[in-house]
Amino acid sequence: MPRRTQACAAAVFLYAFALTVAAQSVYPTGTTIYDPDRAWNGYTVLSPLGTQAVIVIDMNGNVVKQWDGYVNSAGGPARIFPDGVVMAANGTNPPHQESLELIQRDFEGHVIWRFDRNRQIETREGGTIWSARQHHDWQREDFPAGYYSPGVKPSIEGGKTLILTHTNHSRPYVANAPLEDDRIIEVSWNGDIVWEWVASDHVDELGFDGDARNAIKAAPGVNAARGSFDWLHINSATYVGPNHWFDEGDQRFAPNNVIISSRQASFLAIVARDGRIVWRLGPDFSESKELRAIRQIIGQHHAHIIPKGLPGAGNLLVFDNGGASGYGFTNPTALNGANAFARANSRVLEINPVTLDLVWSYAGPRFYSSNISGAQRLPNGNTLVTEGANGRLFEVTREGKIVWEYMYPRFSGAQSSNAVYRGYRLPYDWIPQIERPKERAVVPPPLANFRVP
């Protein structure tokens, strides 16, 4: 099927499918499914959007630790280091979707490290303050993918931090409006910026065809409050990390190269340390039979290489949100060429990054989060999935069986949202200050018998 026909068909499907996916107004929260024998047991750290805290729960959904004072409404992951150390973004810079600082704290809440001295910004009161301008992602250099893998103990102090940030400028060769551009910086422990990469400098390497370049040039979707065009909306930037591809001689997968994901433009890429794009997936998924087998990736989040020591190590894992994204030809639902592709369901994809074979995928019934979200490979081969927009996290086996499910119970905001940006599972001994909890199976009743009194 030609790409234009595919896009039109997808738009019709999106409308029809959306009519069938209406959520109920009453449902249980907390842990709703738990099989202790099949799940990989540990704590789960949550990054809720409407709660000004980083929260850790046990397998039964009990809150066992909470660090208050993290205003994370801009969105971004909180991560736990060994010995109960937390790091997350804090503060907002409206109308920009970004945070003012990254803060690392110990178990008691004492600040270990803080970074905000990236750029000075104007406040609404007319003054200036330092800001990290961080958005969506950050990564400590010896913490592959930012989650637990056997044999890796990330450093609590020292080392560099990779930070995804914004920069605003005009680039007429890219778009006819000022850009809200993506700038990746690497920061030393002392807070010095030691490396940087700006997306617009590499527009010719990103795989856009003529239709896509024309659509971007017209700058659809300029944010009036920001006065700028968030043309790529990169939402993940992480070190590739140690991997067998590099060990076997493939320099594209050098551990300190950076893998990025553009939500708006529907591509993933690896950036070498000299700035070149050395590997890319998308934005055109009709270029080969392997890409056609994967099918169009839309609005994706949390692209990363599975760390060494885990099942599937070296493969790409990505949460393919669906929704609408991509630039290209105009069609009935993309009159200006933006959001050229649409799909109203989500997928989790595991892809061999060399052969581009689809190794594993999950696309369960009524599984859909059009934004945020993520996926983590666990040591037992299961995958922890964050269906972020709905505040749902679940652990799924390779056979597609859900062995743990949790619904975030705190609702806030005008839309009464329980959205969770992302969750990560970690071993109990990474927070030794907490007594290991008891694990109690949760077996849900048959839906036909489930009643509200």
2-46 pLDDT, tens per residue?
555 445 444 444 433 443 445 678 889 999 999 999 999 999 999
pLDDT at 122: 87
pLDDT (0 to 100) of residue 23: 66
* Total tally of structural domains belonging to the chain: 1
User: What is the number of residues in the chain?
Assistant: 453
Q: Is the pLDDT of residue 1 over 80?
A: no
Cα–Cα distance, 171 to 218 (Å, whole number): 12
Handedness of CA 362, 366, 368, 374 (dihedral sign): negative
pLDDT tens per residue across span 261-306: 999 999 999 999 999 999 999 999 999 999 999 999 999 999 999 9
Inform me whether the pLDDT recorded for 92 exceeds 70.
Answer: yes
Q: Tens of pLDDT along 110-121?
A: 999 999 999 999
Is residue 112 packed enough to be buried (19+ CB in 10 Å), middle (13-18) or exposed (0-12)? middle
CA distance 418 to 392: 9
pLDDT for residue 22: 53
Residue 419 has pLDDT above 90, yes or no: yes
Its domain, for residue 331, covers: 3-449
Burial class (CB in 10 A: 0-12, 13-18, 19+), 124: exposed
**Mean pLDDT on 55-63:** 99
Please give the pLDDT value at position 20. 42
pLDDT of residue 219: 92
Mean pLDDT across 45-72:
95
Q: Which tens digits make up the pLDDT trace of 214-235?
A: 999 999 989 988 999 999 999 9
- Tell me what pLDDT residue 3 has: 54
Residues 333-375: pLDDT tens digits?
788 999 999 999 999 999 999 999 999 999 998 999 999 999 9
pLDDT at residue 5, rounded to an integer: 47
**C-alpha 228: how far from chain center:** 23
Radius of gyration of the chain (CA): 21
Q: Which residues of 348-380 are buried (b: 16+ CB within 10 A; e: fewer)?
A: bbbbebeeeebebebebeebbbbebbbbbbbee
The CATH number that applies at residue 111 is 2.120.10.30
Judged by DSSP in three states, 166 sits in strand
Residue 326 pLDDT exceeds 80: yes
- Half-sphere exposure in the Cβ direction for 20 (13 Å, CA): 11
pLDDT given at position 6: 47
CA distance 262 to 294: 17
Which residues partner with 236 through β-bridges? 261
Residues contacting 269, CB < 8 A, separation 6+: 205, 206, 259, 260, 262, 277, 279, 280, 281
Confidence check: pLDDT of 256 > 50: yes
Per-residue pLDDT tens over the stretch 372-389: 999 999 999 999 999 999
Look up residue 12 and give its amino acid.
Answer: V
Q: What region does 133 belong to: left with phi over 0, alpha with psi -120 to 50, or beta?
A: left
Q: What are the structure tokens assigned to 367, written together?
A: 């599984």
Mean pLDDT of 95-109: 95
> Across all residues in the chain, what is the average pLDDT?
93
pLDDT score for 16: 39
- Alpha-carbon dihedral angle through residues 295, 420, 87, 430, given to the nearest 10 degrees: -90
Q: Quick one: pLDDT at residue 18?
A: 44
Cis before residue 365, ω within 30 degrees of 0?
no
Q: What is the pLDDT of residue 25?
A: 82
